[in-house]
Amino acid sequence: MTPEIREKAARIAPAVRMLLKTGETAIVTFREAEVSLGAASDGLCVLPSSLTLESAYKLLEERLAKWKIENGKNPGIVGVEGLGIFAFGINTQEASETAGAFLSGSPLPRRGNAPENAGKRLAEKIVVITGSAQGFGLGIAEEMLKQGANVVLADLNYDLACRNQEILENQYGKYRVTSVKVDVSDEESVRTMVEYVVLMYGGIDVFVSNAGVLKAGSLEEMTLSAFEFVTKINYTAFFLCAKYASEIMKIQHRFAPGYYSDIIQINSKSGLSGSNKNFAYAGGKFGGIGLVQSFALELVPYHIKVNAVCPGNLLSGPLWTDPEKGLFVQYLNTGKVPGAKTVEDVRRFYESKVPMNRGCEIIDVARACFYIIEQEYETGQALPVTGGQNMLK
């Protein structure tokens, strides 16, 4: 698929999805294929190719409205000359089967059955989570799958993401999760990732910017290259993800003005208060909250909510427990915890700082995300999930 086709299709898919949406769920999947205006098929609506995007949007609205009046239902396929087909379904399996049937010349499957995830908190929502091949991101992904979402594992470690995708598919279904490789610090990589997701699902409902790195050290120890690396992943990457995710969400809003989308940054308690000998991380997280508040003001007219979740320390996660690069080891070696002689000393020190006397867990963060998504009257917030260690002022 050429970049030109991918880009154009990724801007038509959200319009098709919102215009065909019935109830709360809709999935549209794209397939590159030959279609012509002369084609006639039950369930096929075709648009000419030589249109600007604005003209395509206008004609799409007109053709689909006419189709619904004449046929009493939505078409299963929308085709664009020189581009391909957009197959519609109430879930990913139905959309994929509709595309496959059309391309093979088979009758389109019957559509409109109640989605199996109806009633779940995130039923058929399209969720992208960066840094989700493992750890915090993977845990959030699984909790969202439990609540009926379609989840994209977006990570630089693509092989690991694919292995965990297979595990999740076995539990939650083949069509419910996919993996995509992305370097969140690289603009073209982020753009391509967003387009890939949109061509597979038809849009983005929730974008969770979770990918992050941490390198502790004092002013004397921190190098400029290490500082810039931490900042690039924890701060600049959030800008890139919000930029390209919001482009798709704005299209969704245009064709369904009452529809809400969410951008959520997984921030940190270090974004709420300074962190000794951890300034590169804390500085990026403080900046992230500034971006959250600013993006929230800019995007609120499009019903795009932008919020941050600020977890406490996930003391059971690999970020802390890795025997070579984990924070327990880093903090022990850098003397961040005075008097600590062992990794267990460091752990006990951090547990003692929490009124609830334990580290944060993945389910705590997932529940905060659920609240943000469900709450339509909340944007620009930084929600602490710290067991009382950090309180709103």
Q: What is the DSSP string of 311-360?
A: E---TTSHHHH-TTTSHHHHHHHHT-STT--SHHHHHHHHHHTSTTSS--
Per-domain boundaries in the chain: 3-104, 126-312+363-385, 314-353
**pLDDT reported for residue 120:** 86
Indicate the Cα dihedral angle 166, 142, 232, 307, nearest 10°: 150
Q: Model-level pTM?
A: 0.92
- CATH code of domain 126-312+363-385: 3.40.50.720
**pLDDT reported for residue 43:** 67
What pLDDT tens digit does each residue of the chain (393 aa) get? 788 889 999 999 999 999 998 776 789 999 998 876 655 565 677 777 777 889 889 989 998 998 888 888 888 899 888 889 999 988 899 999 999 998 888 888 876 555 567 778 998 899 999 999 998 899 999 999 999 999 999 999 999 999 999 999 999 998 899 999 999 999 999 999 999 999 999 999 999 999 988 888 889 999 999 999 999 999 999 999 999 999 999 999 999 999 999 999 999 999 899 988 889 999 999 999 999 999 999 999 999 999 999 999 889 877 788 888 888 998 898 888 999 999 999 999 999 999 999 999 999 999 999 999 999 999 999 999 999 998 877
The Cα–Cα gap between 92 and 29 comes to 8
The Cα–Cα gap between 240 and 133 comes to 20
